[in-house]
Amino acid sequence: MLFTMLAIAGGTATVKYYVSKKKAKKTRRSLSRSIEKLNDKLQLDVLVPQRQSDHDEVQTHVALWKRDKPLVPEKQSAHSFKKEGKLFNRYLRKYGAPYWRPALLSGAGLVSFGLYEIGFTRALKNIINSSASGKGLLLAKPILAKLLLVFPAVALLVLMGERISAAITSKVVKDLNSDMYQHLQKLPVSYYKDTKLGDILTRFSSDMIYVRLGITQIIPTVADLLIVVLNIIMLFMLSVPMALVTMTSLPVLIYILRDFSPSLSKANYALKDEEAMVMQAVQESTQAQAMIKSFSIQPSMQSGFVNQLERLQKVSTNALFNRTAFERTVISSLFFTQLLSISTGLILLGAGTLSIGGLVSFIMMQGIFVSYMRKLFRNRIDEVLTSLIGIRRVDTLFQSQSDIIDIPGAIVLPTFREGVCFENVSFGYTDDNLQLRNTSFSIQPGSFVAFVGPSGAGKSTILNLLLRFYDVSAGRVTVDGHDIRHLTISSLRQKIGIVLQDTFVFNASIADNIRVAKPNATDDEIMQAAQAAELHEFITDLPQGYETNAGEAGKRLSGGQKQRVAIARAILCDPAILILDEATSSLDAETAAAIDATVHKLRHKCTVISISHNLRAIAKADNIFVLDKGSVMEQGSHDELMLLNGLYVQLWNAQTSTAHETPLLEAPLS
């Protein structure tokens, strides 16, 4: 009874909309303001008792998970909603067009059941009207027999349509995922430094779930719309007055969709935004467990995570409320027009202008119409609207472009013979902070050079520019006399092997981890690279040899073993230039010395560029560049630099004066 009263009240309000356009606009603005105020005041801790935390005594938390800037638009207007619709159509045309033929077959299969329902309802009118003359049973038998015979075929057609629709959805999602991954590979290093990992991961996880839901609904939605159109035609054929009353729900539903869609979109986008932050928090906390436990900050981390969950809880409540309000308003409108049309039918029946069979048939046909409209607005359209959020977030990934690209006419670097030159190079990661200032130097082919200097002097920046992870702000970097911006990126990087301080090891076999440097390498080539890196003996002692899994992030390997994997990779790609970026700084002295000895054997095969804080490790370099504040202050061999009595000597004395002191971590405990 209460639901009926609410439905009538809601329907009365919507009918008044058509009485006065000005009054309807005022009602719409009032409704929107009321919903916004309710959303602002809606707090979950008022509605649901909060669970007491095990760490309520902790008043502070580690504020790690903060967004640099809000990803949710401040305002979500009908205009922006139309833009999202155009965006959805663009992706649908791009990824759905190749499958339009199977989509037609799928739609035909799904429409068949709606046609079956309409045919049954139409036949029912004739059966009921014939019953008055005593011929109902005689007429019903052949009709029911035909319906029973046709039903299995209809069921098979529907199953076929669902199966084809599922296959199309899977293929579209696969194509989209593939393009997203390919696009990620093209983005510059700066993108990964500026973008949270959780935001990237959600593009491939929860965002794609929403996109999949939206794509899944495309064919069924078109099929349902076709059935609704056919149903409307049948309603008018049965009774024009009752059909006109029923059709009053259509403009109301369009008005509801237009009014609610922006708020639904904004609420869902906020929900996705906070879900990405939660994923980021879980991912970082999982990776940092050793640090968290060593500092005993579990309660503080828990408190911070609970705060993040509370933000998610709030936006989740808002999204659920908007969705529920949308659904209930749709149901109320349909229910009210259904009552009005039935009342109209009873009046027509009493006046003798409508038969009992026509009334029953219309009510059943109207029931089909209402069921499909509810399905469209509660399921189909709602999921399509939700998928717009995933599409928009996916599109932000595609909108991110790399400025590090091959220029038209870029040439391939065939050999490396003339060396590397930095000519008056200036560069900064930000406009107001230069890491290199008018820096010039040259590296001869086949030499062993090193870059040293205080932290932040610009050593790693030089390597980033040589690898063309970034482009210079001024000046140029040349290899064999060619500006590297005029070379193809692949040909430049194929000439360079690199061993970093933190070597990334994939969760794959040791052989495959070495093979990443040369995907088409044979097993013999991998073995030779491992032998040159002095890793072969260790690998053969393992139960599964080269097929031994290295574990996630190489957890089953020691630091020295991971560095030797990196050296094996560099050897496998046979580089003309070998870069060592603090390759041994995190290793113990014995392991570092062994790694240095291995690298020393490669000196006669390639040009070696080393960055190291350990001056003893690079003392035998042919040329040492001493950097400070983005400029080369000194250069020369170790002996030459010692004679200058400059910055290099200060750095050397600082290291050698503490070389015989007991390191802090090795001091005896008191």
- CATH code at 378? 1.20.1560.10
Q: Specify the pLDDT at position 483.
A: 92
Q: Specify the pLDDT at position 80.
A: 56
Q: Specify the pLDDT at position 137.
A: 64
On whether both 222 and 340 belong to a single domain, the answer is yes
Question: Strands 436-443 and 482-483: what pairing?
Answer: unpaired
Residue 70 domain-assigned? no
CA–CA gap between residue 630 and residue 439 (Å, rounded)? 7
Mean predicted lDDT score pLDDT of the chain = 78
Q: Which of 47-56, 559-568, 657-666 has the highest mean pLDDT?
A: 559-568
Residues 6 or more apart whose Cβ sits within 8 Å of residue 463: 498, 579, 581, 609, 611
Query: Which of 399, 431, 462 lies at the terminal end of a domain, its last residue?
Result: 399
On whether both 430 and 324 belong to a single domain, the answer is no
Residue 297 domain-assigned? no
Residue 666 domain-assigned? no
Give the residue with greater pLDDT, 422 vs 214: 422
Q: Specify the pLDDT at position 206.
A: 76
- Say which residue the tokens 């299969």 belong to: 109
Per-residue model confidence as pLDDT tens digits over 622-647: 999 999 888 899 999 999 999 998 89
On whether both 431 and 351 belong to a single domain, the answer is no
List the beta bridge partners of residue 638: none
Residue count (the chain): 670
Q: Specify the pLDDT at position 484.
A: 92
pLDDT at 73 over 60: no
Residue 173 domain-assigned? yes
Q: Which of 130-144, 240-254, 276-290, 291-305 has the highest mean pLDDT?
A: 240-254
Say if residues 458 and 630 touch (Cβ distance below 8 Å).
yes
Residue 603 domain-assigned? yes
On whether both 616 and 526 belong to a single domain, the answer is yes
Q: Which of 39-48, 294-303, 356-365, 593-602 has the highest mean pLDDT?
A: 356-365
On whether both 534 and 646 belong to a single domain, the answer is yes
3-state secondary structure (DSSP) of residue 564:
helix
Residue 250 domain-assigned? yes
Query: Which of 370, 399, 428 lies at the terminal end of a domain, its last residue?
Result: 399
On whether both 250 and 348 belong to a single domain, the answer is yes
Say if residues 260 and 321 touch (Cβ distance below 8 Å).
no
Backbone φ, ψ for residue 273 (5° rounding): -60, -45
Give the residue with greater pLDDT, 479 vs 202: 479
CATH at residue 463: 3.40.50.300
Q: Specify the pLDDT at position 134.
A: 60
On whether both 528 and 650 belong to a single domain, the answer is yes
Total domains in the fold of the chain? 2
Query: Which of 339, 366, 399 lies at the terminal end of a domain, its last residue?
Result: 399
Per-residue model confidence as pLDDT tens digits over 593-607: 777 777 777 777 788
Look up residue 335 and give its amino acid. Answer: F
On whether both 452 and 355 belong to a single domain, the answer is no
On whether both 232 and 378 belong to a single domain, the answer is yes
On whether both 514 and 444 belong to a single domain, the answer is yes
Question: What number is the average pLDDT over the span 95-103?
Answer: 88
For residue 410, give both structure tokens. 């870029």
User: What percentage of residues in the chain have a pLDDT greater than 70?
Assistant: 82
Residue 293 domain-assigned? no
On whether both 347 and 241 belong to a single domain, the answer is yes
Residue 562 domain-assigned? yes
Say if residues 352 and 396 touch (Cβ distance below 8 Å).
no
Residues 6 or more apart whose Cβ sits within 8 Å of residue 613: 452, 582, 585
User: What percentage of residues in the chain have a pLDDT greater than 90?
Assistant: 11
On whether both 394 and 508 belong to a single domain, the answer is no
Domain span holding position 461:
420-657
